[in-house]
Amino acid sequence: MFNNLQTNKPLWRANWYLYKDPELFSPLSEEFSHTTNKEFFEGDFWVRVERQTLMRLPEY
């Protein structure tokens, strides 16, 4: 991915996750990533969306 970056063409990527806790530091737990337990998915969730913009800097 980084080898193809150009100085005149920004690249962006995005991802999103569902969280059960509004804390900013909330690593995904093993329970969340592998559960099929219906009760775990009841109640409130928070969606965290991240966007990154990457661009190669010119060489001087």
CB 46 within 8 A of CB 21: yes
Does the residue 59 lie in any domain? no
pLDDT (average), residues 32-44: 71
pLDDT band for position 35 (cuts 50, 70, 90): low
Q: Bigger pLDDT: 21 or 53?
A: 53
Query: What domain count does the chain have?
Result: 1
Does the residue 60 lie in any domain? no
pLDDT (average), residues 47-53: 92
pLDDT (average), residues 10-31: 80
pLDDT (average), residues 33-37: 64
Quick one: which of 55, 49, 59 has its CA closest to 1?
A: 55
Does the residue 36 lie in any domain? yes
Domain assignment of residue 33, given as a range: 2-54
